[in-house]
Structure 1
Amino acid sequence: MEPIKDHLSRPLRDIRISVTDQCNFRCSYCMPAEIFGPDFAFLPKEEYLTFDEIYELVLAMGDLGVEKVRLTGGEPLLRKNLHELIAKLNKIESIKDIALTTNAMLLPKYAMKLKEAGLKRVNVSMDAIEEEVFKKMNGRSVSTKPVLKGIAAAREAGLEVKINMVVQKGVNDDQIVPMASYFKDKGITLRFIEFMDVGSTNGWKLSSVVTKKEIVDILDKHFPVEPLNEAYFGEVASRYRYAGTNIEVGVISSVSDSFCSSCTRARISADGKLYTCLFATEGYDLKPLMRNALSMDEVSNAISALWNKRRDRYSDERTEETAKNRPKIEMSYIGG
């Protein structure tokens, strides 16, 4: 079967799968504590896709051109025996890259198992290196120490590590240089992410956005950077390297420099809904496909039909008014 494309010739290449909607942080970006407090009702476990169902979906999507799988959450390492799912996915010939987005706190316990199962990379969410800023942002006064310990454990296990930092003006923009300095010295790729209006609860305002240009200008004053070419079609990060080194730094710029026309990414929530955009208002329930004993071809064809209908261009069309008035699915539900 040929890889599928939509009206803007965007192949489906990359799938993000949320394996749980629960998290052990309540960070200000995707799970603000005032909304996701201790009494918040998360999905019942029986609503989650099983590992077998996830495997079958990825197998079907591999026939459509998917090569990359990212497991997300919530915090994916809260899903019991996650390494078993990774081992299953690693057996799918069409899948070239399996990665995990995590807050790193459970990596000392699981990093080696994940590596042995076939995981290649962890993307660690970390929005500050200074203690007080980090504690304020994660909403639970958690120190940086367990996160840095998790990063070290991942590297010791042989996993590639990338750090993702969401930058909010007046909140943690003073951490751009300290974060860059710390991870440059460690030889770890850091990616800055413009503050986006994901979901409807993070209090997004355009005035809170530090743009890609502003971030690169700040970096360049302290550590001269050189632009790099796009590594593949649909790459969302603008990549740079620190001059005179092979250490990369990047910026993801959905707000100031959108990339809708080259987006090759779909998302599946923990309860099996397919979202063709991070800013979607609704998803397509895939569980009936998986639980009605359909053939792999039938599942592939159904997903192909959904992707071919996609017309998502939210980042191209965003205004402060649409951000306020258009409901969007929460990031903790579909992952990053």
Structure 2
Amino acid sequence: MPEEGVCLMPHDALLSIEEITRCVKVATRIGIKNVRLTGGEPLVRKGIIALVQQLSAIPEIENISLTTNGTMLKTMALPLKEAGLNRVNISLDTLSRETYALVTRRDKLHEALEGIQEALRVGLSPVKINTVTVRSLKENYLEFAKMTLDMPLHVRFIEYMPIGTHVNDPNTGWGKQDVYPADELIEDINHAALREGLSPLLPVSDMHKPQGSGPARYLAFPGARGTVGVISPLSRHFCSECNRLRLTADGKLRPCLFSDKEWDVRTALREGSDEDVYKVFLQVLNKNPDEHHDKVGTEREMSQIGG
């Protein structure tokens, strides 16, 4: 997030809870069965519990997940679970309090760690940790991987994606040189593990992968309760396997994070019929890019698109 904050959108520009639900209902006609609520931070959205309840009432929707920074889960994990949330991804890029405050601009690492424990306690499953790997942060990623030894956590290391207008600006963002290729990361973690007397990470079978594994490749320490995954949008493209669409808060449909192409579905929701909304979905599917072609920088920041 920009240090100076963001320009807030007018209330009318944002989709209402009811409009989001209607959009998802229409999306089931093209085969959508899984919904993930993301952000920004979705738990600050007024009505988030009601939205989960409404989405869980759609017969065709089989799974509802949520990506959060975790700092509000200590009080919200149980009501979210009771509303119909199945699983949760918690964004956590560092285990250092100082670095956490630097990256998030909030000194709330303790709250995030408490949120992880509460998600496990109330039975959200699987609980995944999303860790964006940034070379210049010089994090000890073995410590993340070791979280899976004694807890049923699924830590996924995600290659930093150079998205937004601030890429390569030395004052405001990281650059492509900060990409930490997944294969190199796993090799480094295994070397560090061996120095501590641990066995290296090994690939896991499909039956041991967590639900909703998507584009991640999974490994595990022998005997560990959880897994370690790697998501490599740059070093190993998975574009040909991508089956996701992104609905932004202001009612745009985007088929790709790395593309600036988006389609307006808000107008169809407010001025048209369900058939008009369905036609927008068909347009997006027919224009899905073949791959991102290592694009660097986008017009919208990640905080505007959804992490």
118-127 vs 203-212, greater mean Cα deviation: 203-212
Which amino acid in the other structure matches residue 305 of structure 2? I
**Is residue 2:128 matched to residue 1:157?**
no
Aligned to 1:56: 22
* Partner Cα separation in structure 2 for residue 298 and residue 186 of structure 1: 47
Q: Alignment partner for residue 40 of structure 2, among 69, 74, 78? A: 74
Length-normalised TM-score, structure 1:
0.81
How far apart are 1:234 and its partner, in Å?
8.7
Following superposition, the deviation at residue 178 of structure 1 comes to 1.5
Amino acid at match of 1:147: A
Deviations 1:57-79 (A, max 9, x none): 11111111111111011110111
Match for residue 287 of structure 2? 309
Matched position secondary structure for 2:202:
strand
Q: Residue in 2 aligned with 1:244?
A: 223
Give the superposition deviation at 1:185: 2.8
Deviates more, 1:125-134 or 1:251-260: 125-134
Task: Give 3-state SS (helix, strand or coil) of 2:245's partner.
Answer: strand
Aligned to 1:227: 203
Hey, what does 2:59 align to over in structure 1?
Answer: 93
1:286 is matched with: 265
Superposed CA deviations along residues 33-81 of structure 1, whole A, max 9, x for unmatched, are: 2xxx14x312122211011111111111111111111101111011112
Taking the aligned partners of 1:204 and 1:256, their CA distance within structure 2 comes to 17
> Does 1:200 pair with 2:165?
yes
1:131-142 superposed matches below 5 A? 131-140=97-106, 142=107
Q: Is the 8 A contact 1:241 1:249 kept in 2?
A: yes
Q: Offset at 1:312?
A: 4.3
> Deviation per CA, 1:167-223, whole angstroms, max 9, x where unpaired?
11121x432012222343323110001111122225342321111111111232314
* Higher RCO (CA < 8 A, seq sep 6+): 1
Q: Aligned with 2:59: secondary structure? A: coil
SS state of the match for residue 142, structure 2? helix
Gaps of 5+ in 2: 168-172, 194-198
- Paired residue for 2:196? none
Q: Per-residue CA shift, 1:124-164, capped at 9, x if unaligned?
A: 10011122222222223x14111111112222221121100
Q: Percent identity?
A: 35
Alignment size in residue pairs: 292
Query: Are positions 1:42 and 2:18 aligned together?
Result: no
Find the aligned partners of 2:146 and 2:204 in 1 and give their Cα distance.
20
**Partner SS, residue 170 of structure 1:** helix
- 1:282·1:329 contact (CA, 8 Å) conserved in 2? no
- 1:191 aligns to 2:156 (yes or no): yes
Q: Is the 8 A contact 1:101 1:123 kept in 2?
A: yes
1:91 CA displacement = 1.1
Indicate how the Cα distance of structure 1 residues 108 and 234 shifts in structure 2: closer, same or farther if over 3 A, else same.
Answer: closer
> Once structures 1 and 2 are overlaid, which stretch shifts more, 223-232 or 147-156?
223-232
Alpha carbons of structure 1 residues 233 and 77: separation in structure 2 relative to 1, 3 Å: closer
Task: Provide the alpha-carbon RMSD of the alignment.
Answer: 2.0
Distance in 1, Cα, partners of 2:277 & 2:177: 43
Residues in 2 aligned to 1:311 and 1:209: alpha-carbon distance in whole angstroms: 23
